[in-house]
Amino acid sequence: MKILIAGAGGFIGGHLVAQLISAGHTVRAVDGKALDQWYQVNESSENSSADLQLLDECARASDGVDQVFNLAADMGGMGFIENNKAACMLSSLINTHLLVAARENGVERFFFSSSACVYAAGKQTDPDITGLAEADAYPAEPEDGYGWEKLFGERMGRHFMEDFGLEFRTARYHNVYGPYGTWDGGREKAPAAICRKVINAKLTGNHEIEVWGDGLQSRSFMYIDDCVEGTLRLMESDVREPLNVGSEELVTINQLVDLAADIAGIEVTRRHLLDAPQGVRGRNSDNVLIRELLGWEPSISLRSGLQQTYDWIYGEMTSDTA
């Protein structure tokens, strides 16, 4: 097939392009960033930069393709989304215009990357949370800004499927991490940020690191290989409802710090920043539905995935160009 990856210069998009190329598909890779700012550039794909907030650009990008994967969004970790709500919500222009263009260009199937941030805040107040099932997105109380944009995107895609027959698939990602992504600069997520801080402690000998919040807030984290596998399985399936794609391995942020420090072979002292952005108290994926509908769920352990992430970031921080 010929496949458009919108947001191909991003973390997940870059990995997805590589996987689809290796599977023999023709890939058109498009991102709003200039090529020299992409995390990965695959020479076997058709690569270009375009402002996908514009309908004309979406029409050109989706012309002649069989499938669209929309991973394009202005987003980052909790520090970014809490302080850039308007920028996050402007991503709704991308999904809206890509859907319109996909319908007009006869695209067969459309994938939308949603997020666990769509889940109601009132159901995420306990660090010992058992898991968020897909039905927990309603009554709606998502993360302000970013979460509302994702929930709106889900609903729009559903109605395009109902009204225009465009097959639409939605994955609610839970904290995706791994190599070839952001690890510094303000948009990085917790695993990469903590790896960076622990590596810096190891390299400098100053073993005190900053931790946002009290460290008792809990999350599950999904390694990028599981994310790509789940994305492709869902896209190829008949599942028309939003589906969690995330790990059920729940840890506190303090435990995540301990794991990174153990990988580094050092002990660290935490300095908790209680006024820093920290999000909900507890968030975990409930995988009952994905096991039932796809016969699969993410399985790469946090220890294994974090080791690979740590090793890559360590290489970036110690290279001559770091």
pLDDT digits (tens, 9 = 90+) for 265-298: 999 999 999 998 888 999 999 999 999 999 999 9
pLDDT attached to residue 320: 67
| Proportion of the chain above pLDDT 70, given as a percent | 99
- Catalytic residue check, 173: no
**pLDDT for 208-267, tens place per residue?**
999 999 999 999 999 999 999 999 999 999 999 999 999 999 999 999 999 999 999 999
Higher pLDDT, 198 or 83: 198
**CATH homologous superfamily of 181-219+249-318:** UDP-galactose 4-epimerase, domain 1 (3.90.25.10)
Query: Cα angle at 112 between 69 and 15, to 5 degrees?
Result: 45
**Mean pLDDT across the chain, nearest whole number?**
95
Topology alike, domains 2-176+222-245 and 181-219+249-318: no
Whether 50 contacts 98, CB under 8 Å = no
**Does the pLDDT of residue 321 top 60, yes or no?**
no
Q: Which of 39, 119, 146, 310 is catalytic?
A: 146
**CATH homologous superfamily of 2-176+222-245:** NAD(P)-binding Rossmann-like Domain (3.40.50.720)
Domains of the chain, residue spans:
2-176+222-245, 181-219+249-318
CA 55 to chain centre: 24
pLDDT attached to residue 73: 92
Which tokens in the block code for residue 199? 């590596």
Question: What is the average per-residue pLDDT within 71-94?
Answer: 88
Which tokens in the block code for residue 1? 């097939």
Question: What is the average per-residue pLDDT within 106-113?
Answer: 98
pLDDT attached to residue 310: 98
